[in-house]
Amino acid sequence: MEIRLNAVGHRYEAVEVLSDITLTIPAHKITCIIGPSGCGKSTLLRFMGGLEKPSSGDVLQLGTAPEGSLNALTYIFQDFALLPWRTVEDNISLVLEDHRLPTEKTKAIIENVLARTKLSDFAKALPKQLSGGMKQRVAIARALAVNPAVLLMDEPLSALDSQTRDLLMEDLVSLWTRTPFTAVYVTHNLQEAVRLGHQIVVLSRRPGQIHQVVTIDTPLDQRIASNPDLQNKHDHLWQLMRDEARAADAELLHA
Ligand SMILES: Nc1ncnc2c1ncn2[C@@H]1O[C@H](COP(=O)(O)OP(=O)(O)O)[C@@H](O)[C@H]1O
Ligand SMILES: [Mg+2]
């Protein structure tokens, strides 16, 4: 499935948040959206998932969800959003309950996603027994359980320390490499974007507009820091972001 945004703009009363966003989210690739805090990234993601409608422009979901998809558009948030009184497997079964699947099928899905996220030994654990990184892996497992057409991630690693972030990025790379999925990954972290993005959308400060779209062809499982192409992309993206941040600071001074 592919998402197309056509001249999307938005205001919250007097505040213009997004302006003239035209963008395609291609199937089976990861699109990263980076930009300064408050530039409208989360708002844009809510439009893509249909949680909210923009004040102008169109959001189109094209194509069909994969076979067996129980929920075409699924979110992963920074705060994990796990129910503390439910075990890991019961947090996952929660998203399957409405679908009235045969018990065997539910069991098979849970086993499959726990194995893919390396959580099989923790099926009966409660969230409070898990580290932050493991909690987020449960949230990833829960998202995978519905076999979404598009996975929408809003700063999923921002609450984690940098080592845990690296480990989870590796997990996402290996999940994607095994079964390429369609994802939109919002972050303000350039390293994450360069590690995970096939397409990186750089938004300007508010009102968020597309500053530039940068593609990275290096396969995800070959993205090591010493790769000179990757280093060039990183430096280029850093310049774009730095210019935005400086312009925003200058505006504050003259406001
Ligand atoms: N429901 C809302 N009502 C009013 N203003 C909002 C609402 N949601 C977000 N905003 C404002 O819109 C701007 C963009 O927010 P957001 O999309 O969360 O940015 P980002 O995710 O890039 O930090 C911010 O100035 C924020 O305060
Ligand atoms: Mg946000």
Taking only the tens place, the pLDDT of each residue in 230-242 is: 999 999 999 999 9
Instruction: Verify whether ligand 1 is closer than 6 Å to residue 37 (CB atom).
Output: yes
What is Dmax (Cα atoms) for the chain?
64
Alpha helices in 31-81 (DSSP H): 41-48
Residues in CB range of 103: below 8 A, 6 or more apart = none
193 CA to middle of ligand 2, Å?
15
- Are the beta carbons of 99 and 123 closer than 8 angstroms? no
- Among 16, 17, 79, name the best residue to mutate to test ligand 1's pocket (greatest count of ligand atoms within 8 A of Cβ): 17
Nearest ligand 1 atom to alpha carbon 13: 4
What integer pLDDT is reported at residue 71 of this predicted model? 87
Query: Domain of 158?
Result: 2-253
What residue ranges of the chain have pLDDT lower than 70? none
82 CA to middle of ligand 1, Å?
24
- Among 12, 42, 204, 241, name the best residue to mutate to test ligand 1's pocket (greatest count of ligand atoms within 8 A of Cβ): 12
What integer pLDDT is reported at residue 226 of this predicted model? 83
What integer pLDDT is reported at residue 47 of this predicted model? 97
- Total structural domains within the chain: 1
Sign of CA dihedral 163, 217, 207, 247: positive
Query: How many angstroms separate the CA atoms of 236 and 228, rounded?
Result: 12
Burial (CB count within 10 angstroms: exposed 0-12, middle 13-18, buried 19+), residue 73: buried
Instruction: Verify whether ligand 1 is closer than 6 Å to residue 54 (CB atom).
Output: no
pTM of the predicted structure, to 2 decimals: 0.94
206 CA to middle of ligand 2, Å?
12
Instruction: Verify whether ligand 1 is closer than 6 Å to residue 43 (CB atom).
Output: yes
Residue closest via CA to ligand 1's atom 2 equals 12
What integer pLDDT is reported at residue 144 of this predicted model? 93
Ligand nearest to the CA of 154: 2
Residue closest via CA to ligand 1's atom 18 equals 42
Task: Convert the pLDDT of each residue in 95-121 to its tens digit.
Answer: 999 899 999 999 999 999 999 999 999
Mean pLDDT of all residues belonging to the chain? 93
For residue 57, the 8-state DSSP code is E
Q: Are strands 30-34 and 2-12 parallel, antiparallel or unpaired?
A: unpaired
What integer pLDDT is reported at residue 211 of this predicted model? 95
The identity of residue 240, as a single letter, is: L
Ligand nearest to the CA of 38: 1
102 CA to middle of ligand 2, Å?
38
In this structure, what CATH number is given to the domain that contains residue 154?
3.40.50.300
